[in-house]
Amino acid sequence: MSAFVVLGAQWGDEGKGKMTDYLAEEAEVIVRFQGGNNAGHTVEVGDRQYKLRLIPSGILHDDKLNVIGNGVVVDPEALFEEIDYLEEEGVNVTPKKLLISDRAHVIMPYHKILDVLKEKSRGKNDIGTTGRGIGPCYTDKFERCGIRICDLLDESVFTEKLKQNIGAKSDYITKVLGGEELNYEEIASKYLALAERLRPYVKDTSVAVYNEIKADKKVLFEGAQGMLLDIDYGTYPYVTSSNTTACGVASGSGIGPNMITNAIGIAKAYTTRVGKGPFPTELDNEIGEWIREKGHEYGVNTGRSRRCGWLDAVILKTTVRVSGLTSLCVTKIDTLAGLEKLKICVGYKFNDTVIDYFPASLNDLAKCEPIYEEFDGWGEEVANARSYDELPNNAKKYLARIEELTGVNISIIGVGPRRDQTIRVTTQL
Ligand code: GDP
Ligand code: IMO
Ligand code: MG
């Protein structure tokens, strides 16, 4: 039995898409369990680049089953845009290759409207969301007024729930937030048409995934976002609205936590963040700018430039603890080539003590000063390295220190965006 998880160990965009595609070779089923099309996962194979948002990054492999689990929030319009885009790129997305949970919640037009208008109303206290309706959709899920995929497929249930939701939300949208009136007829006819297109893909995916694991098929769970965007353990309120940690796998896909055998944390060799919120090791200077340009640090989803900073071992230790990581995959080691000196944050000075965890209070976090260790850089480009031995000594020292600080082995190293630009250090994940 093997079920392994690929998780973002920082603030998202660590290279989960690339690594899921790479590791999909070793799995039969690839499952998304949380988030939605707020994710932007890039996969490069040869000279082709694919951008995935909602569909698992195993889709480029013809013989794999991809599953959108119950914990995901699904925007049907965005889903079919993505399917059409993939089909145009020559990637098959039939119901044989893609299943969608009947329990997943549907992102409705009013969720997207609420996301954008609420952000506007927050003014300078905005979160910097992707505007995809993720937060408002999860809010309805927990408020217990959400529309699930199984509801959308049943016309009488759907129209009833849609009327109730529009009734409950329209005054808030128009009178409080200054938005436009919602048009029931328009939304109903559009979504009922989308329902028919969705129907062949829909299944009880908990049963499907459980049966695959029981039949000794390898199942890979692909996380979206990252550790510090987690609703419970992230830098709240500057987080997303789901559990991005390994604990989200069980509730978001409908299997028991004891079925998970390995959890691989994907970490960039430095740190980035999109959107607002605290970032202790941020480099708001020419080094940060240098990393942004060399690493092409611009968001897949919204095109926003990513904030860049030194690697923070406090973040990685948090991920090891909260998600029970069994190994780390360090990506973008190639980006750092050319920097004379590098730093890793090994702890925070907080009042008169040193801590190696994230305080819950943002006021306390603001008082934390990173404590750095400095490393000599390496001038040699590593994009063509295919084994650990081919890496420069200073890169090896940097990586060895990450292992020491986190207490976890590095199983994979990324040296470029392409599938083949990957160094497998250990077979054990
Ligand atoms: P995800 O959201 O975690 O899947 O990551 P994104 O796709 O949003 O961002 C990661 C970016 O880095 C993408 O452009 C990838 O193609 C690229 N990438 C992934 N791994 C590596 C690597 O090891 N080196 C380099 N240079 N780029 C990488
Ligand atoms: P992947 O899977 C990086 C950030 C947004 C914002 C906050 C809340 O590609 O790593 P939301 O729209 O989810 O309510 O926005 O979370 N965010 C991400 N940042 N990578 C992502 O996904 C993200 N998904 C959401 O920028 O700060
Ligand atoms: Mg991304």
CB of 265 closer than 6 A to ligand 1?
no
Pairing verdict, β 422-424 and 410-414: antiparallel
- Looking at the fold, whether 336 and 415 belong to one and the same domain comes out as yes
Residue 141 designated active-site: yes
Q: Which of 153, 177, 198 marks a domain boundary?
A: 198
Which of 118, 129, 276 to mutate for ligand 2's pocket (most ligand atoms within 8 Å of CB)?
Answer: 129
Whether the CB of 278 sits within 6 Å of ligand 2? no
What was the pLDDT predicted at 417? 98
| Residue whose token pair is 């506007």 | 120
**The tokens of 124 are what?**
């300078």
Q: Is 13 an annotated catalytic residue?
A: yes
Element (H, E) at 153: none
- Which residue positions form the known binding site for substrate? 300-306
On whether both 288 and 413 belong to a single domain, the answer is: yes
| Same domain? 97 vs 112 | no
Residue 183, domain CATH: 1.10.300.10
Residues 333 and 187 in one domain: no
Choosing from 64, 141, 169, 268, which is the catalytic residue?
Answer: 141
The answer to whether residue 357 sits within a structural domain is yes
Residue ranges making up the domain that contains 170: 105-198
314 located within any domain: yes
In a 3-state reduction of DSSP, which class is residue 235? coil
255 in the same domain as 168: no
What is the model's pLDDT at position 348? 98
Q: Same structural domain for residues 47 and 129?
A: no
Last residue of a domain, one of 198, 231, 246: 198
Distance 12 CA to ligand 2 centre (A): 7
CATH number at residue 294: 3.90.170.10
User: What CA–CA distance (Å, rounded) separates 32 from 189?
Assistant: 28
Q: Can you say which residues are annotated as belonging to the binding site for Mg(2+)? A: 13, 40
- Ligand 1 centroid to Cα of residue 280, in Å, is 22
Same domain, 182 and 231: no
Q: How far is CA 322 from CA 7, 226, 334, in A?
A: 11, 12, 28
Q: What DSSP designation does 361 have?
A: S
Per-residue tokens: 133: 């309706």
Query: Counting Cβ atoms within 10 Å, is residue 397 exposed (0-12), middle (13-18) or buried (19+)?
Result: middle
Pick from 105, 170, 117: nearest CA to 143: 105
Same domain, 249 and 162: no
Are 14 and 153 members of one domain? no
Domain holding 214: CATH number? 3.40.440.10
* Residue 183 within a domain: yes
145 and 288 share a domain?
A: no
Picking from 211, 244, 263, the residue at the C-terminal end of a domain is 263
Q: Choose which residue among 229, 231, 244, 298 to substitute to test ligand 2 binding: the one with the highest number of ligand atoms within 8 A of its C-beta.
A: 229
Residue 114 has what pLDDT? 98
Sign of CA dihedral 132, 133, 138, 141: negative
324 lines ligand 2 (CB under 6 A): no
Cβ of 18 less than 6 Å from ligand 1:
yes
pLDDT tens track of the chain, all 429 residues?
789 999 999 999 999 999 999 999 999 999 999 999 999 999 999 999 999 999 999 999 999 999 999 999 999 999 999 999 999 999 999 999 999 999 999 999 999 999 999 999 999 999 999 999 999 999 999 999 999 999 999 999 999 999 999 999 999 999 999 999 999 999 999 999 999 999 999 999 999 999 999 999 999 999 999 999 999 999 999 999 999 999 999 999 999 999 999 999 999 999 999 989 999 999 999 999 999 999 999 987 788 899 999 999 999 999 999 999 999 999 999 999 999 999 999 999 999 999 999 999 999 999 999 999 999 999 999 999 999 999 999 999 999 999 999 999 999 999 999 999 999 999 999
Same domain, 180 and 212: no
- How far does the centroid of ligand 2 lie from the alpha carbon of residue 240, in Å? 6
Residue 429 forms part of a structural domain: no
For residues 279 and 379, state if they share a domain. yes
pLDDT of amino acid 299:
86
294, with CB counted inside 10 A (0-12, 13-18, 19+), is middle
CA distance 373 to 312: 11
**How many domains is the chain built from?**
3
Partner residues linked to 308 by β-bridges: 272
Q: What's the CA-to-centroid distance between 277 and ligand 3, angstroms?
A: 17
